[in-house]
Structure 1
């Protein structure tokens, strides 16, 4: 029986070492998985912050663009049929200034559209921007005046709805995390 105690001691020694190695390996794998999960969560958070920042920026640019396009269209219509029958230099300067402001804003909007990740939201914004560009560059007669503004308003509102739905979706996702 004395021999068995010796072999049980040796076996316990090796089994203890094996258990220690197995425990260390499992701890290492758990830590590696935790680090990978943290990296994925950090990447997702940076992506969401980037997207939220650009959605808010695009939202404001879209509003500014619509306001400037509407102002430009109204000035063009007013100058097409001035009350006095003659377009003044002041009216021409006001129109030129409005056109420059609109072109700058639509340029900013166009440069930011690509940073909107969601395809449906990006498409709605593109449709609104393209409509504004088309309407601001082509003359509209008196009969289409009201319809043009209303159509532009509807397209921009559709884009705003898509933007706000996406922002709410991002914040709802954060609340679940």
Structure 2
């Protein structure tokens, strides 16, 4: 047997093993790529669910804060009427409505995921609580002490909603 003939006999075996190795490497790389894609999909799904949760609670909180402020203003009117006429008509109902609105808004503050928005929202709720106490003690005007913190909260909530939606548009 000549030296060149040995290579011709071994070459099909080597090619067979190299082909098998190439197939295994290709399958392994394909599996890694699929795992990476599944991981990316899982992260995207978690992000989507988080954003949906956050959006729902921001919108709900915004409405509850509006209702809280409105019930405070209703109570303020009733208190003013009470001071003018010395009747207690409506004070109990207005106080109960305010307590319910306060409970609703307080239960949602903790669900605001953005730390800055949650802090600003807490300040607005605190301002309304302080205004209620002051109004009942006849120390301050109705809207002045709450206007700035409440409006700042509305702006922060709106900005966060826009931020979430703009992030979705770029995906």
Superposition TM-score tier, normalisation by shorter sequence: over 0.9
Matched, 1:57 2:60: yes
Q: Distance in 1 between matches of 2:102 and 2:9?
A: 86
The alpha carbon displacement at 1:114 in A equals 0.3
Deviations 1:31-73 (A, max 9, x none): 0000000000000000000000000000000000001111112
Matched, 1:174 2:168: yes
- Give the counterpart of 2:152 among 145, 151, 158: 158
The residue that corresponds to 1:32 in the other structure is 35
Q: Distance in 2 between matches of 1:135 and 1:93?
A: 21
- Give the counterpart of 2:138 among 138, 141, 160: 141
The residue that corresponds to 2:107 in the other structure is 111
Matched, 1:94 2:90: yes
Q: Distance in 1 between matches of 2:146 and 2:81?
A: 19
Q: TM-score, normalised by structure 2?
A: 0.93
Q: Distance in 2 between matches of 1:122 and 1:115?
A: 8
The alpha carbon displacement at 1:151 in A equals 2.4
Larger RCO (CA under 8 A, 6+ residues apart): 1
Mind listing any 5+ residue stretches in structure 2 that lack a counterpart?
none
Secondary structure of the residue aligned to 1:81 is helix
Q: How many residues align?
A: 167
Q: TM-score, normalised by structure 1?
A: 0.90
The alpha carbon displacement at 1:140 in A equals 4.4
